[in-house]
Amino acid sequence: MPPMDGVPADLSDPRADGTAARMPLVHVCSGRAGRQQLWEFVVGEIPTSAEANRYAGSGARFVEDQLGYPRSVYFYAGRAHPGYGQVALAFPPGSEAGRLHTVTPFDTGGVAKREADLPSAFRLNLAPDSVEGRVEFCRRATIAADHNPGWRVAFARWLAYYFPTSSVGYWDRPPERPDPDGMYTSNTDWPAWTWEIRFAAGPRVLDAERWAADPAHMTEVRRHLAETDLTPEQVDELEQFFGRLETPAGDFTFNEALERWIRSNSL
């Protein structure tokens, strides 16, 4: 059974409700060789995982095809994983309006792997443990954009159940309770219990309410923008964007810096 199947339907906690309602959505930009990077589209929208965009790997498209998702833009609720790039962008809850596609209470890429990649997948108590079983697990756990009530209501119930001591545990440790299939207790990588949010289209980079980056990326972003012809309106918007930078000089722990800001504004 997916994680939400074990959560009482009438569970409510005002603190968790508030955290869920305020939680920003975080996208980490890829800095891998051959992929688009922040300075290539900083005045535009974040690309989807479509192959032509050179932005996401084939593994993401495999999962999308298995689960019937469109080519998507990926976010974590309040967490920033440095393994996905060197720039983390936090978007406010309102950014999901008209863009939200689906949500799951774990990273789908860590569950629905190709057969050859199953040894590196999250550990789950599935019998048999197969690609087909994992795909069905993801499908059953998926919350669609038109779900009533919305996914943030489900997220609040999940926080209240799996982190009953305090919602701050979401950033500090695995869930305090086991989920029905043991995924949360069998893995140590936090994407196994972090909510993944998928948009069918990307928000504009400049609409991020806060962001952070490592030093090398800050150098490249500033260099590229200095060499780009921009309108006065774009220059003004970029100045406001840089005013929302959590790491002005860049920081190798940019993800932690952004998460500290998120905690202080979500709890």
Cβ neighbours, 10 Å, residue 264: 8
The answer, as to whether pTM is greater than 0.85, is yes
Q: Residue 27's beta-bridge partner residues? A: 89
User: What are the φ/ψ torsions at residue 73 (nearest 5 degrees)?
Assistant: -115, 130
3-class SS of residue 43: coil
pLDDT tens digit at each of 267 positions of the chain: 899 998 999 998 999 999 999 999 999 986 555 567 777 888 889 999 999 998 888 889 999 999 999 999 999 999 999 988 899 999 999 999 999 999 999 999 999 999 999 999 999 999 889 999 999 999 999 999 999 999 999 999 999 999 999 999 999 999 999 999 999 999 999 999 999 999 999 999 999 999 999 998 888 888 888 888 989 999 999 999 999 999 999 999 999 999 999 999 999
Report the side by side order of strands in the sheet with 25-29: 143-144, 100-104, 196-199, 73-77, 25-29, 87-91, 210-213
Token pair for 88? 């983390």
**What is the residue extent of each domain of the chain?**
23-152+190-266
Residue 110 in contact with residue 83, Cβ under 8 Å? Answer: no
User: What is the rounded CA–CA span in Å between residue 249 and residue 219?
Assistant: 9
